[in-house]
Amino acid sequence: MADLLQVRHLSIEYAAARGVVRAVDDVTFSIGKGEIFGLAGESGCGKSTTAFGVSRLLRHPARIAGGSVQLDGTELTTLSNEEFDRLRWSKISIVLQSAMNNLNPVLKICDQLTDAILAHEPHAGKEVRQRAEQLMRLVDLPVDRLDSYPHELSGGMRQRVVIAMALALQPSLVIMDEPTTALDVVVQNGIIRKIMELQKKFGFSILFITHDLPLMLEMCDRIGIMYAGKLVEVTSREQILQKPRHPYTQGLLNSFPSLSGPKQRLSGIPGHTPDLIRPPAGCRFCPRCSQALALCETQQPMLMQDEKGQIACHLYSEEGLSREQASAACE
Ligand code: SF4
Ligand code: MG
């Protein structure tokens, strides 16, 4: 699968009263054309910040401290705001958790949809209302709702409008950050089914972010797991379902009820995420890891590529493996 998005060594920092917080640290991953890629991890792990970095929505004091983000070969981090505005909606769009953050409360739905189209296609003219009507049908909303204001719609309807807006100019990448989290389960299911149906129909790629791992495992082709600003594992949905490798991925899975397998006792991961101003010298997960080796305390595991994906853990690093063997030989 050809890559659509390439994120390389991305770091994002912000200054806090106690020092500099590196919320995203040296994160590398790619998303293929038509692929649904998920970013998972506990809250505060950097998944939304990564998405905001990719879509240039970081607000002061957060800033990109290093790395690159390429969309279809175009470097996004160095574009001027005007240049990026030309890509927003037409190549990359974003759906946030609360539709109210995406919609302008004082504009009718029709104006919001048509403004997005006209910003890129100023000559769309009369046919623009028809396009807005088509978009409403696409997300199963009654066309007469075009003349409503956002507050006159239910939360689920508003989120459908946001999805319609995100797709108005047929972008190649749609970023979805907790798109259904604020909604009740029935409405959530309907919207997820709709997103999947539209993705199949149009073939856009999705960067999907949620703290809901079962939902992610249902939707995504590949998943990146983040912990304390680091990407610790990237692998296929099948690999995570059958044999999660990273101890943190294993812990995360054990914190959710099994989707299909036998009922098991749920165990959260004991301990807390580290202070990102002064992270541990070695593996950031070390203080919580039940499988830690001696070198995990002092040496940070690098993200390595192997046939199953990418993983950053000494249980799979050459150094970790050789030390394991050496200590086994001594016993
Ligand atoms: Fe655990 Fe060590 Fe792997 Fe970190 S590197 S997850 S501490 S085994
Ligand atoms: Mg978030």
* Mean pLDDT (10-residue bins), the chain, 331 residues: 94 94 96 97 93 94 97 96 93 85 90 92 89 95 97 93 94 95 88 95 96 91 97 96 94 76 67 90 95 96 94 90 70 60
Residue whose CA lies nearest to ligand 1 atom number 3: 313
pTM score: 0.93
Q: What is the pLDDT of residue 108?
A: 97
- Amino acid identity of 321? L
pLDDT for res 165 = 93
Q: What pLDDT sits at residue 258?
A: 63
**Shortest-distance Cα residue to atom 5 of ligand 1:** 313
- Residue 181 pLDDT: 85
d(CA 13, CA 21): 5
**172-185 burial code (b ≥16 CB/10 A, e <16):** bbbbbbbbbebbee
Q: How many CB atoms lie within 10 A of CB 51?
A: 22
Cβ atoms < 10 Å from Cβ of 164: 24
Measured from the Cα of 295, ligand 1's closest atom is: 2
Whole-number Å distance between alpha carbons of 284 and 317? 16
Mutation choice for ligand 1 from 225, 232, 246, 286, CB with most ligand atoms inside 8 A: 286
Pocket lining for ligand 1, CB < 6 angstroms:
247, 283, 285-286, 289, 291-293, 296, 301, 313-315
Q: What is the pLDDT of residue 263?
A: 58
Instruction: Please list, in sequence order, all residues whose beta carbon lies within 8 angstroms of the beta carbon of residue 313, skipping any fewer than 6 positions away.
Output: 232, 233, 245, 246, 247, 283, 301, 320
| Residue 278 neighbours by CB under 8 Å, 6+ apart | 19
Q: CA–CA separation, 78 vs 289, rounded Å? A: 38
Determine the residue of 231, 245, 250, 285 to mutate for testing ligand 1's pocket, defined as the one with the most ligand atoms within 8 A of the Cβ atom: 285
Q: Which ligand is nearest to the CA of 178?
A: 2
Instruction: Dihedral sign for Cα 86, 210, 218, 274, please.
Output: positive
pLDDT the model gives residue 97: 82
* Whole-complex ipTM: 0.97
Is 41 in contact with 227 (CB distance < 8 Å)? yes
Cα of 312 to ligand 1 centre, how many Å? 8
Q: What is the pLDDT of residue 259?
A: 55
